[in-house]
């Protein structure tokens, strides 16, 4: 029975297992988000399992705030994980066990060199132009009497090469002389990163390690550890870095890098995801991908080998695209926080969904949309003087009077109907649309950048429209 079940299971689910393993020492940044996305996509595409693991072995720098920020970012982007989050700090005894195993097998040894001494040697080596690797002082020294602090080092092979086939970069080979005996356990008994990843990836049965480019140099050491421990070596896929405009590694000084910051700036998660997936990965000339299309078309082999520059302009374009084509109801809900941060309340004002509809083609971000929506809820307290100055006083007053009269006498309930009324006003008085539309627009919104007249009037309502025109009328005649 059990056998049958597992067979059934392996038919629907592949054995493929991937993980995203951030360390909780900061927020989720766009680079990490893209790595997570590629992992997620790979798992979804192949019917595998996506695991979230928190690498918090650095007790000093790991914080709860960072952890929450990462989780929040993942959820906002919709990168749901199948297992975890697992915490490395929960597995300290396990790591210890494996360290002991290596020690017993003579594949690791205790090193009594002090951090200060090592630092000095490292600096000296760098200065002399040598590779700053461990000189192996304790490699053959044997165990010293109790009480002296020590770290545990992995006894790495000194000859030959270590290589692996990277799914993105191809075969990568390192001469073993380049690799030194890395520390796997600190003086305080805690395990180090390179050791933990190997144990975790092995015990979690990770089949494919997809991670940032900056880890390629760690990979040969990890491969050696897998081999020393007798674990199968997983496949590796190293995705290139994301750079700033100056081609240097993306960092805070290039502007926002936090996923949550993009949310707060009014970006839609589907826009960021779409942008990120195209950074490094492509499917022919396609630019717009829904989640399902992404999953369907994703192939790790189509990830490029070179680093890419983060370009906000294109992100903006994608965001505008998704706003334009988005569901107004949803957008309205997402817009609310951007409105309240401007102290705008929609209470008693026009229907927000209707407002959103008039703004969808006019905003690149929700922030921008909120800015453009303000006039609907706050009657203009001043008018664009330069725009108003293009018309003389008499003309303005005549237009305002004619429009108010028309609006009050003839009912119209959609934008097209309202526009028709304005055309009537024009033809009845021999005016051009520009002479009528613009003054009214200014009266209603305070400025010239606004949706179509018909759209504004309909969403504002005729009553409020007339009220605003009369207010403008008073303003103009008082001049």
Minimum separation from the CB atom of position 300 to RNA (A): 12
- Residue closer to RNA (CB basis): 301 or 479: 301
Angle at which helix 328-340 crosses helix 352-359, to 10 degrees, equals 100
Instruction: State the Cα–Cα distance between residues 84 and 279, nearest whole angstrom.
Output: 27
Q: How far apart (Å, rounded) are the C-alpha atoms in residues 421 and 14? A: 64
Pick 218 or 470: Cβ nearer RNA: 218
Whole-number minimum distance, CB 161 to RNA, in Å? 9
- In whole angstroms, the minimum distance from the beta carbon of 142 to RNA comes to 18
Take residue 151 and report the two structure tokens written for it: 């770290």
Q: Left (φ > 0), alpha (ψ -120 to 50) or beta: where does 78 sit?
A: left
**Nearest distance in Å: CB 471, RNA:** 19
Q: Please, which residue, 315 or 352, has the CB nearer to RNA?
A: 315
Q: Are 88 and 53 in contact (CB under 8 A)?
A: yes
Nearer to RNA, 193 or 383 (CB): 193
Q: 287-298: buried (b, 16+ CB within 10 Å) or exposed (e) per residue?
A: eebeeeebbebb
Q: Which of 75, 117, 131, 252 is catalytic?
A: 252
Specify the residue, 62 or 208, whose C-beta has the smaller distance to RNA: 62
Active site residue 252: yes
Shortest gap between Cβ of 6 and RNA (angstroms)?
A: 33
| Cα 331 to Cα 250: distance, rounded to the nearest angstrom | 30
Residues 6+ apart with CB under 8 A from 260: 27, 28, 69, 72, 73, 76
CA dihedral 295→297→300→305, nearest 10 degrees, is: -120
List residues with catalytic annotation. 252
């Amino acid at each position: 029975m059990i056998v049958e079940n597992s067979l059934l299971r392996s038919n629907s689910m592949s054995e493929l297992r991937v993980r995203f393993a951030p360390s909780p020492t900061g927020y989720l940044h766009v680079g990490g988000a893209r790595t997570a996305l590629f992992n997620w996509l790979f798992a979804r595409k192949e019917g595998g399992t996506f695991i979230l693991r928190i690498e918090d072995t650095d007790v000093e720098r790991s914080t709860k705030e960072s952890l929450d920020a990462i989780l929040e970012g993942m959820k906002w982007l919709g990168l749901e994980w199948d297992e975890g989050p697992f915490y490395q700090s929960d597995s300290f005894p396990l790591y210890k066990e494996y360290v002991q195993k290596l020690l017993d097998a003579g594949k690791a040894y205790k090193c009594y060199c002090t951090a200060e001494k090592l630092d000095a040697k490292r600096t000296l080596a760098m200065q002399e132009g040598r590779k700053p690797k461990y000189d192996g002082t304790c490699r053959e020294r044997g165990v010293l009497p109790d009480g002296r602090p020590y770290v545990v080092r992995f006894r790495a092979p000194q000859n030959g090469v270590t290589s692996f086939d990277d799914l993105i970069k191809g075969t990568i080979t390192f001469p073993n002389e380049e690799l030194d005996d890395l520390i796997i356990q600190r003086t305080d008994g805690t395990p180090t990163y390179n050791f933990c990843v190997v144990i975790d990836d092995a015990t979690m049965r990770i089949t494919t390690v997809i991670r940032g480019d900056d880890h390629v140099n760690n990979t040969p050491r990890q491969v050696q550890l897998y081999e020393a421990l007798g674990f199968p070596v997983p496949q590796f896929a190293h995705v290139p870095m994301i750079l700033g405009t100056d081609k240097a590694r993306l960092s805070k000084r290039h502007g926002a890098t936090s996923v949550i910051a993009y949310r707060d700036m009014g970006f839609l998660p589907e826009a960021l995801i779409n942008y990120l997936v195209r950074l490094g990965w492509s499917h022919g000339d396609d630019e717009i991908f829904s989640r399902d299309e992404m999953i369907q078309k994703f192939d790790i082999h189509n990830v490029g080998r070179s680093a890419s520059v983060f370009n906000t302009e294109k992100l903006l374009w994608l965001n505008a695209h998704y706003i334009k084509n988005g569901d107004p109801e949803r957008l309205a809900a997402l817009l609310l926080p951007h409105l309240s941060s401007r102290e705008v309340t929609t209470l008693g004002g026009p229907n927000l969904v209707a407002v959103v509809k008039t703004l969808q083609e006019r905003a690149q971000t929700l922030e921008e949309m909120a800015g453009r929506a303000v006039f609907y809820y706050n009657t203009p307290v001043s008018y664009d003087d330069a725009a108003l100055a293009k018309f003389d006083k008499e003309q303005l007053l005549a237009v305002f009077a004619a429009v108010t009269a028309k609006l009050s006498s003839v009912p119209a309930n959609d934008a097209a109907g309202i526009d028709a009324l304005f055309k009537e006003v024009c033809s009845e008085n021999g005016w051009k649309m520009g002479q009528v539309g613009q003054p009214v627009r200014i009266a209603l919104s305070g400025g010239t950048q606004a949706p179509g007249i018909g759209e504004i009037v309909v969403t504002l309502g005729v009553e409020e429209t007339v009220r605003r025109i009369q207010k403008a009328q008073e303003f103009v005649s008082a001049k």
